[in-house]
Every structure is written in C-alpha cells, then in structure tokens.
Amino acid sequence: MTPDEFLSLWHDASPTMEVCTSGSTGTPKHIYIEKERMRASARMTCDFLGLRQGGTALLCMPLDYIAGKMMVVRALERGMKLLSVEPGSHPLGSANMKGIGNPPVIDLAAMVPLQVWNTLQVPEEREWLCRIRHLIIGGGAISLELEKELRTLPINVWSSYGMTETLSHIALRRISEDHYTPLPGISLEQAEDGCLIIDAPALCPERLHTNDIVRFHGKNRFQIIGRKDNTICSGGIKIQIEEVEAWLHSIGYDDVMVTYRDDTALGQALVYLSTSDISTDFLRRHIPAHIPVAKYWIPKHVIRIPSLPQTPTGKPNRALAKEIAMKRNTEHNSNK
C-alpha cells in the first residue's frame, strides 16, 4: 500500500480500516479498527513525546500493518510533515534519502530492530539516524548488543509495548531503562496468572487480558518477563522462552530461537534452533546461579537451520519454530 492509497482509505466514508496482524504467535489475520480510535492513539503518543505542530515524521515501515498506518495518522493529527521512504532493511540508505537534501531534524520515526541495526553499520545512515529526535523501536526484541549501542546515541530512543489490537503501542520504555511507562489514559492491572490487563477505553472497547507476564514497579511502570503461551513445561519444570533467549544473547549466542517438541517422558522437550553450532558444555559453564530453574535450560535437541523463522514484521515466528522442531531431525552438539 502506498501513502496515497492509505490516505484515500483514511478519508473515505467508512468509520473503520482493515489491518493485518503480524502473526507472531499464529496465522496472521485481518481485523477492522475504528479510525477514531486510531486518532486517539496518535494523540496519546504525540502528547507523551511532546510532539508539536510543524514537525517532521518519517514513514519507513510497511503501510499494510498497524505501525506504518499509525505513523501517518500521528503526522495527520499533529500537523507534521511526513517523509515517506521505501520500507526496506536500510530505510535511511542513500537510495531513499538522496532526494531529500541536507538531513533535516526528524521529530519522530519508528523502526524494527533489524532496520536500526543495519542503519548503525553505515556511517552515512548513522548520521541520518542521529538527526531523529524520537526513535520508536518495535516489532521485535532489542538485543543486548543493539541496546548498548543505542545508549550512546544523542537522541531519544524508545522501546514500544503494544499490539495490533491496541492500535500500536500503549507504553514506551527509554532504552536506558528497564521499565515501560503507559501512555496517558491507559490503566494497567495484573491478573492472577501474572499477565497484564490493559484498560484503554479510548482504544479498545473492552479490557484486554494479554498473554504477557509482567512484573510491576510502582503503580503503573512494568517489566515484561515473557509470554504465557511461550512457557514450556518440561518434566514439570516451567521454562520461559524469552528468559532463556535473553540469557543466550547475554553469553554471545544471538542466532538462537528457543522452542519445544512433544516428548513422551518430559511432555515438552526443550529445543534450540540455531544458525551455528551450540556448545552445551559452554552453556553449562555459564548457567546463572541465581536462577534455580536455569539448570534445565540446557536443550534436549539442537537443530541447525539456515535462518531463524520470522514474521513479515520481523518478529520471531513461534508457530513456525515449533513446526520445525516437531518435523526436523535434530543435531546433537553436546560434545562441542
């Protein structure tokens, strides 16, 4: 979809707009959302970041998904100039930016982690990135290496929390902090199962019970521990996929996805999908002693694959990862 096509749909008589979900935990689906709720979400973000009329917003994400659509709506609601570039892996590359002239100050941009990482590897693109006042990163986990690099930039970098159903993000986290802060008008609770409940009447007609396990710090600030549906129960031991992946990244394994396969004895057996060799001896030497269940994080199976499964928006494709684990023969690297 082009910006002109989006604007044509935005200004037509329909009170709703069709949006495709990302498919991070299953099959992508199409839903219809109210334009007035999209406007409300845009105002919340602009107010939170202090964006003013006359600024500039950069659109470098596909307009088929909510993140791209909301960038256009924010520009419309706050009266900002919209710069639109090709939503590829190098959004600030010379092919995109050559017609814009000298780098202007861009007040707001949103990217996925891969776009940010690629941009930082090219000096000219990095220079463009450092002209952005507020950079929102969403659509996937930010690695420790990328987060460390982002903390050195002279701009405001935010990690976003939200989903298509909440019309993009409902909370933002400064890259230098651990906790998310909700946007104005958002109320949060924690359910008995530890998952986050979102009450956002301007965005969702009903309270949203998420699958995200959280830890609250104060009244509203919260930290994401993992997803309820990403909990593996292996031999009665509960293993949180995201927690294991965060540990793997911290010890140098950035190219690993954690999943499971059915197992007669254990119920669910831990599986690593990796693009390189995994040394289980190395893993055992680096098990975090302060986490009692961490000794169960050693995989029962390791599967070598050419690339990790992702959704079109760059998120880990958990459904496909599980499918690979169930179908593929495994490679055991326990002696490496």
Indicate whether 226 pLDDT > 90: no
CATH number, span 235-327: 3.30.300.30
pLDDT in the model for residue 335:
38
pLDDT in the model for residue 241:
92
Nearest to 69 by CA among 38, 24, 31: 38
CATH number, span 3-228: 3.40.50.12780
Q: Rounded CA gap, 188 and 185, in Å?
A: 10
Exposure b/e, 148-158, CB count within 10 A at least 16 = b: eebeebeebbb
pLDDT tens digits, residue range 86-114?
Answer: 888 899 998 888 767 665 689 999 998 88
Q: Which residues have C-beta within 8 Å of that of residue 52, sequence separation ≥ 6? A: 78
Q: Tally the C-alpha atoms within 13 A of residue 77's C-alpha that lie toward its C-beta.
A: 20
Stated as kind and residue range, the H or E segment containing 84 is strand 81-84
Whether 3-228 shares its CATH topology with 235-327 is answered no
pTM for this predicted structure: 0.74
Q: 166 with 70: CB under 8 angstroms?
A: no
pLDDT tens digits, residue range 227-254?
Answer: 888 888 898 888 989 889 999 999 999 8
Helices (H) and strands (E) in the chain, counts: 10, 18
Domain spans, the chain: 3-228, 235-327
